[in-house]
Amino acid sequence: MSTTTKPTVTPPASVLTQRRLPRWAPAATALGAVVAGIGIGAGAGLTSEIQWGLIAALLFVGALHVLSTRVEGSRKAKDRLATSLVWVCFILAVIPLVSLLEYTIRKGAKVLDGYFLTHSMNGVATIEPGGGVYHSLLGTLEQVALATLISAPIGLLTAIYLVEYGRGPLAKAVTFFVDVMTGIPSIVAGLFVLSFWIIWLDFSFSGFAGSMALSILMMPVVVRSTEEMLKLVPNELREASLALGVPKWRTILKVVLPTAVGGIVTGLMLAVARITGETAPVLLLVYGAATINTNPFDGAQDSLPLYIFQQWKNGNEPSYDRAWAAALVLIALVMALNLLARGVARWKAPKPGH
């Protein structure tokens, strides 16, 4: 491929300059590697595009290294090797992620329309097209709202405790266990509520049971993010307020929290976005239903992630289409929350005081 080995002109090289590859050498090598990768892949009859990409990536890294060693010497060549490896890593990482988004959008747009968003699966046979996600969307929103109602106050107050009051063994224990809680697998949270609420207290499956598991997952995230934000509030503000005779609790409510509100809201919304996509606890606790159930405290509900899983399990084309469309709705919901959160963060960015 690219036979661009020779640098164009090397005048009587002064001692301080080295021979270098031209600026366009990496790009040219990349292009050559891609072409060769496709050529080899197609020629050898490899069916998987993943392999074509891997071949091209290997060729690129190898060729550039060899070129650079011959022209620029080994130190420079190592530098180039690292650079090209980093670029390859980046592309390797971006491809599946972009493919995921692209595939979901392409597949999901097929079925997604107003009808899909406003109808439930009531009376729709799994093998025929039609039906919608209304009941699951409703369920998800209710469960997430309930979970937020439970965990936001507890999370906020715990963070306030840790930052403003926390001293001694209790604060240490709380910090440690918040860390531990962050790492709880979602299915374990689901199992806990299952054994506590459904097996021990003998309640039935309901949206509320799901919200409890979701709030277990949400609390530590809220505590962590709020804690970070409260720590950013400069101490001078607190001291000024206290010096004016304002009691501590009013200082916290009127000075500390308003200063950090942007970051706190952002953290909350990111936590909400995270639990919106949780499937495992919902699978164990909400159970799933094809009909609209507006009451999260009574009887099985549905939720978007669960809907996707059920449709995938049905294993036929119309169900797959529905699954993709629901996935698109879910991603849109989560992304919207994320973007909104970031918007709030930018809008009310706390100014660290130093």
Q: What is the three-class DSSP state of 124?
A: coil
Q: Which is nearer to other proteins, 115 or 176 (CB)?
A: 176
**Which residue in the set 18, 24, 27, 103 belongs to the binding site for other proteins (CB under 8 A)?**
103
* Among the residue ranges 1-9, 23-31, 112-120, 154-162, the one whose residues contact other proteins (CB under 8 A): 154-162
* Among the residue ranges 19-27, 291-299, 324-332, 344-352, the one whose residues contact other proteins (CB under 8 A): 324-332
Cα 184–Cα 189–Cα 194 angle in degrees, nearest 5 = 160
Q: What is the three-class DSSP state of 301?
A: strand
**Which residue in the set 247, 294, 316, 343 belongs to the binding site for other proteins (CB under 8 A)?**
247
Distance (Å, whole) CA 135 – CA 124: 13
The answer to whether residue 278 forms part of the interface with other proteins (CB under 8 A) is yes
The answer to whether residue 50 forms part of the interface with other proteins (CB under 8 A) is yes
The answer to whether residue 179 forms part of the interface with other proteins (CB under 8 A) is yes
CA torsion angle 323 326 327 331 (round to 10): 180
Distance (Å, whole) CA 226 – CA 299: 34
DSSP 12: S
The set of residues, in sequence order, having a beta carbon less than 8 Å from that of 55 and lying 6+ positions away, is 36, 37, 40, 41
CB of 129 to other proteins, least distance (A): 17
Q: Which of residues 187-226 bind other proteins (CB under 8 A)?
A: 187-189, 191-192, 194-196, 199-200, 216, 219-220, 223-224
CB of 272 to other proteins, least distance (A): 11
* Among the residue ranges 25-33, 115-123, 129-137, 326-334, the one whose residues contact other proteins (CB under 8 A): 326-334
What residues form DSSP beta bridges with 121?
none
**Which residue in the set 93, 125, 127, 149 belongs to the binding site for other proteins (CB under 8 A)?**
93
Q: Which of residues 68-87 bind other proteins (CB under 8 A)?
A: 75-76, 78-79, 81-83, 85-87
Distance (Å, whole) CA 214 – CA 331: 18
The answer to whether residue 65 forms part of the interface with other proteins (CB under 8 A) is no
Distance (Å, whole) CA 80 – CA 316: 49
